[in-house]
Structure 1
Amino acid sequence: MRMLRWSATAAAALLLTSLAACGADSGNGGGDGKTGAFKIALIPGVANDAYYGSVACGVQAAAKATGSTVDVQAPKTFSPTDQIPILQAVIAKKPDVIIIAPTDSKALYAPLKQATTQGIKVVLVDTTLEDPSIAEAEVSSDNIEAGKTAAAKLIELLGGKSGSVLTVNLSAGVTTTDDRFKGFAEGLKATPALKDLGQQYSNNSVQTASSIVSSTVAAHPDLVGIFSTAAFNTEGAVAALRARKDNNVTIVGFDANPPGVKQIQDGEVAAQVVLKPYDEGVSAGEQAINALTGKPVTKKISTGAVVATKDNLNSPEVQKYLYSFTCPAA
């Protein structure tokens, strides 16, 4: 299987093109009590992930109703090192609101606090902060519940097998993936026959994830399941098992990007937990505009998830949530 990968430049170009197709309008900004034409800055977690393409499409759909503009600036890697300079540059442009997926729950607090002291409103989407009090709203999936869903699906797929289960996580301090592991570990307790090996961090590297899986298979011949909390982790796990020609390990991941869909179609991943990033984007955009116009704001919004397998991949309820840089028709 040819692994599909987006470069940061290509992804950013596709994202901006798709946003234009969704109907971006020019506006003059202004968080001064006006009812529209606001300047909305969106800073996703990373540029090369169709998940955030869907988030951006949702934000744009919400912005379109008021004639507001959305400027998307995404870091090349999922890291505060890359995201903070982008945030600082965005703050200097003085948008009315910043909608951001923080790449670290602590490191992003200070620069976002700086934005609020300059009168820029902040809405958190997908990920959050350890102290989210500076934000107007938080919009995210219920990742603990989604992790429990992943555990239940893996237990079902293993059909009574016993053995070890590994979690390949992103990096410490990312609220979404930390919660996914928390929910998964809790859900796995329902089956004592499965030994939880805990989590190892890939730092969003396909190569590191592959190395983790390879060494774990060698050290634990009874490995029967892998839970991957993010797209690149799944890609690395698939590569490691493919190299070993190992068909005895069942993977449940979190990836409805094009490569993740292909992994299901090819039978290399048994199931993917599919979140609802478009819904997240719509809600984040709506709460941002509510905050700017003085309307009531919902401080915390959680969206759900579905599970995609080869059996239901083409069903409407799964298809509408697959991640994409192409915005749905209005």
Structure 2
Amino acid sequence: MRVRSGVAAALVLATATAGLAACGSGGASGAKAPFKIAFVPGVANDAYYGSVACGIRAAAKKTGSSVKVQAPKSFTPADQVPVVQAVIATKPDVIIIAPTDSKALYAPLKRATSQGIKVVLVDTTLQDPSLAEAEVTSDNVEAGTVAAQTLAKLLGGRQGSVLTVNLSAGVTTTDDRAKGFAQGLAAAPKLTYLGQQYSNNSVQTAASIVSGTLAKHPDLAGVFSTAAFNTEGTVSALKSANKSSAVTVVGFDANPPGIKQIQDGQVAAQVVLKPYDEGVAAATQAVNALTGAPVQKKTETGALVATKTNLGTPEVKKYLYSFTCPAG
């Protein structure tokens, strides 16, 4: 999709096109609310998933349905699979989940559907999402493209190398962000793209990647980080090398620490997704599937870019990630 002028406008277009998608068939049960909704986020203590949970609760409240959140301690299938197994044992009506791996979570979720528990995917997805009633996510390829355009603009025609620090292979959202970034950076011929390296969810590994890249490529001008772990490691490595002012960082983190990184000048920009909107959409489609109403099989929400300049604007503040749910 061609990016129109204006960062926010480009990503909002993804939301509009999602509404044109054909609706899938709803669930056949025709059950009546209230329902037991289980939410399994990618990891505990992450304000992004806190905002998703707020959206789920807001939509569930309309039908009097309950929401129980059970989260793994780390963003890995090794920790998430046992959580899913425990959730299945509680026999919820539906599991809304952000899979930590596109393949490893298929079998346990298939076990859930075989027991009559419906599944809705939120944020991340599966390599084969056919078992799910619906998918709700952001257009992460488009978001990655805009991240590249943002970085190129911030560098202002400067020559140099650019690196992507990614999370781990098999995480659909971050893989798509890296893909979109590579596509977007192709339009900046003065910048040499070094490709991506994986931190495997480790702040220390991310820091080591950036330190090693600085040693090999002293012309490093920019770093694109696909997730909060990577950004934290990147900031640490640049600080240790006294390169914070020489290397421009664009990240994907509107959690409180990510916002502080902007305020402190450690990160030039953060791509901000709309997890609250994702939560509302996921719970809405879950209830539709349970009641037999039409289900939209795939919904894509928009995103925007936060910088020190626009951080205090209502549009950006509205979407900063938080465990505190909006009133109402």
Give TM-score, length-normalised by structure 2: 0.90
Q: Which residue of 1 aligns with 2:116?
A: 119
Q: 2:194 aligns with which of 185, 192, 197?
A: 197
Q: Which residue of 2 aligns with 1:308?
A: 306
Question: Could you say which structure has the greater relative contact order, defined with CA pairs below 8 angstroms and 6 or more residues apart?
Answer: 2
**What CA distance in whole angstroms lies between the structure 1 residues aligned with 2:141 and 2:158?**
24
Question: Residues 287-298 of structure 1 correspond to what in structure 2 (within 5 A)?
Answer: 287-298=285-296
1:130-181 CA distance string (max 9 Å, x none): 0000000000000000000100000000000011100000000000000000
1:2-21 CA distance string (max 9 Å, x none): xxxxxxxxxxxxxxxxxxxx
Q: Which residue of 2 aligns with 1:251?
A: 249
Q: Which residue of 2 aligns with 1:226?
A: 223
Give TM-score, length-normalised by structure 1: 0.90
Q: Is contact 1:41-1:90 (8 Å) kept?
A: yes
Matched, 1:78 2:43: no
What's the CA shift for 1:35? Answer: 2.6
What's the CA shift for 1:116? Answer: 0.5
**What CA distance in whole angstroms lies between the structure 2 residues aligned with 1:34 and 1:218?**
61
Matched, 1:274 2:269: no
SS at structure 2 position matched to 1:104: coil
**What CA distance in whole angstroms lies between the structure 2 residues aligned with 1:172 and 1:242?**
27
**What CA distance in whole angstroms lies between the structure 2 residues aligned with 1:245 and 1:222?**
14
Which 5+ residue runs of structure 2 have no aligned equivalent?
A: 1-27
**What CA distance in whole angstroms lies between the structure 1 residues aligned with 2:271 and 2:36?**
33
SS at structure 1 position matched to 2:222: strand
Q: 2:99 aligns with which of 70, 80, 102?
A: 102
1:78-115 CA distance string (max 9 Å, x none): 00000000001111111000000000000000110111
What's the CA shift for 1:193? Answer: 1.1
| Partner amino acid, structure 1, of 2:275 | P
Q: Which residue of 2 aligns with 1:187?
A: 184
SS at structure 2 position matched to 1:129: coil
| Partner amino acid, structure 1, of 2:289 | A
Question: Residues 254-265 of structure 1 correspond to what in structure 2 (within 5 A)?
Answer: 254-265=252-263
Q: Which residue of 2 aligns with 1:13?
A: none
Q: Which residue of 2 aligns with 1:134?
A: 131
Q: 1:239 aligns with which of 236, 239, 243?
A: 236
**What CA distance in whole angstroms lies between the structure 2 residues aligned with 1:279 and 1:52?**
12
**What CA distance in whole angstroms lies between the structure 1 residues aligned with 2:118 and 2:300?**
20
Q: 2:163 aligns with which of 166, 179, 185?
A: 166
Q: Which residue of 2 aligns with 1:40?
A: 37
**What CA distance in whole angstroms lies between the structure 2 residues aligned with 1:104 and 1:158?**
34
What's the CA shift for 1:316? Answer: 0.5
**What CA distance in whole angstroms lies between the structure 1 residues aligned with 2:282 and 2:194?**
36
Which 5+ residue runs of structure 1 have no aligned equivalent?
A: 1-30
1:247-269 CA distance string (max 9 Å, x none): 20000000000000000001110
Aligned residues: 300
Q: Which residue of 2 aligns with 1:15?
A: none
**What CA distance in whole angstroms lies between the structure 2 residues aligned with 1:163 and 1:210?**
20
**What CA distance in whole angstroms lies between the structure 2 residues aligned with 1:203 and 1:314?**
33
| Partner amino acid, structure 2, of 1:37 | P
SS at structure 2 position matched to 1:245: coil
Question: Residues 49-88 of structure 1 correspond to what in structure 2 (within 5 A)?
Answer: 49-88=46-85
What's the CA shift for 1:232? Answer: 1.1
Q: Is contact 1:35-1:66 (8 Å) kept?
A: no
| Partner amino acid, structure 2, of 1:295 | A
| Partner amino acid, structure 2, of 1:59 | I
What's the CA shift for 1:32? Answer: 5.4
Instruction: Report the aligned-residue RMSD.
Output: 0.9
1:42-97 CA distance string (max 9 Å, x none): 00000021000000000000100001000100000000000000001111111000
Among all aligned residue pairs of Structure 1 and Structure 2, give the percentage whose two residues are the same amino acid: 76
Q: Which residue of 1 aligns with 2:20?
A: none
Q: Which residue of 2 aligns with 1:216?
A: 213
Over 3 Å off, 4+ runs:
31-34
| Partner amino acid, structure 1, of 2:258 | G
Q: Is contact 1:62-1:286 (8 Å) kept?
A: yes
Q: Is contact 1:63-1:70 (8 Å) kept?
A: yes
Q: Is contact 2:29-2:292 (8 Å) kept?
A: no
Q: 1:143 aligns with which of 140, 144, 162?
A: 140
Q: Which residue of 2 aligns with 1:21?
A: none
